[in-house]
Amino acid sequence: MPARVLRSTRPGGTRVGVGPVEIGGPAFVVAAGPCAVESAAQTEGTAEVVAAAGAHLLRGGVFKPRTSPYAFQGLGEPGLSILGRSGARHGLPVVAEVLETSQLASMIDHVDVLQVGARNMQNFALLRALGKVRRPVLLKRGFAATVDEWLLAAEYLLDGGNTQVILCERGIRTFETTTRNTLDLASVALVKQRSHLPVLVDPSHATGLRELVIPMALAAAAAGADGLLVEVHTSPDEALCDGRQALTPELFVELMQRLPAVLQAVGRHLHSRVSTAPAVRAVSP
Ligand code: PEP
Ligand code: MN
């Protein structure tokens, strides 16, 4: 059974610092951005929108793990500097997925949080390598992984010496095909009790449907998640990847405006603004 991941080893919980952002404290954080970095203009346009709406981190895939080898595989290394520049321009630390250890050297200069995707949750060579880096790791739950397997994957990172680990529930595969995956919110409440590690929820991959992202994001906040990982695109219909689940800028603003009431109901609050961009004015009801 897991040991270092257990809450009994750190009853007060782990807080992971990413620049000005603290994940796992009383404040709720929102990481938002496109599924994939497609171009400098698309990344910058999305960064501007999410920063102005109050996101705390900018996400964007540069190396994409795609089901089909013929689908867009990401921009690769050139995408790293695009993402890093947009994050820096708006004062947002950036999150990007690392697919293999050979990518670490180039990523370390541009990326603040290294994401391990669902398909790689049990890539033990990658986990061992990430245990050695001094950079926060966002560990997604595999879509066929039990909670114990997920926690044991995190144990690899902690055992390697990296204590800056953030978990992310992104839906699991069930008999249900109407949604892309089934969001297992019970696992979030369970893992918060069993482990000291912060837990984010990704309602985008969990549902695959834009219209379900806000309700599930609010439910995640109510269930005790420490934050969200959300896909946003300025023109979802033209997205090279996962457009059907991407929030439009308007919907992302709506999400950010609706979160505080739910958080307040469960004794939490939204993390303070970190972006250097001007705030969007709240739309009056
Ligand atoms: C992603 O967040 O870009 C992603 C590929 O997600 P997952 O690994 O959860 O499918
Ligand atoms: Mn995606």
Q: How many CA atoms lie within 13 A of 124 on its CB side?
A: 5
Chunk the chain into consecutive blocks of 10 residues (it has 285) and report each block's average pLDDT, rounded to whole numbers.
89 98 98 98 98 98 97 97 98 98 96 98 98 98 98 98 98 98 98 98 98 99 98 98 98 98 98 83 50
Expressed in angstroms and rounded, the spacing between residue 117 Cα and the centre of ligand 1 is: 5
User: Is 279 among the domain residues?
Assistant: no
Can you list the positions of beta strands (E) in the chain? 16-18, 21-23, 27-33, 57-59, 94-97, 113-116, 137-140, 165-169, 199-201, 227-231, 269-270
User: Is 116 among the domain residues?
Assistant: yes
Q: Do 77 and 106 touch, CB atoms closer than 8 A?
A: yes
Rounded CA separation 178/274 (Å): 37
User: Which ligand lies nearest to the CA atom of residue 97 in the structure?
Assistant: 1
| CB of 205 shorter than 6 A to ligand 1 | yes
User: Is 2 among the domain residues?
Assistant: no
Q: Which of 182, 242, 237, 183 is nearest to 61 (CA)?
A: 242
User: Is 276 among the domain residues?
Assistant: no
Domain total in the chain: 1
Pairing of strands 227-231, 94-97: unpaired
User: Is 275 among the domain residues?
Assistant: no
Structure tokens at 140: 């997604």
Using CA positions, which residue lies closest to atom 10 of ligand 1?
A: 118
User: Which ligand lies nearest to the CA atom of residue 141 in the structure?
Assistant: 1
User: Is 260 among the domain residues?
Assistant: yes
What CATH number corresponds to the domain at position 149? 3.20.20.70
User: Is 79 among the domain residues?
Assistant: yes
Predicted local confidence at residue 279, as pLDDT:
65
Domain membership of residue 61 as a residue range: 7-270
User: Is 219 among the domain residues?
Assistant: yes
| CB of 118 shorter than 6 A to ligand 1 | yes
Q: Do 91 and 276 touch, CB atoms closer than 8 A?
A: yes
Expressed in angstroms and rounded, the spacing between residue 11 Cα and the centre of ligand 2 is: 33
Q: Ligand 1, residues 63, 111, 121, 170: which to mutate, most atoms within 8 A of Cβ? A: 170
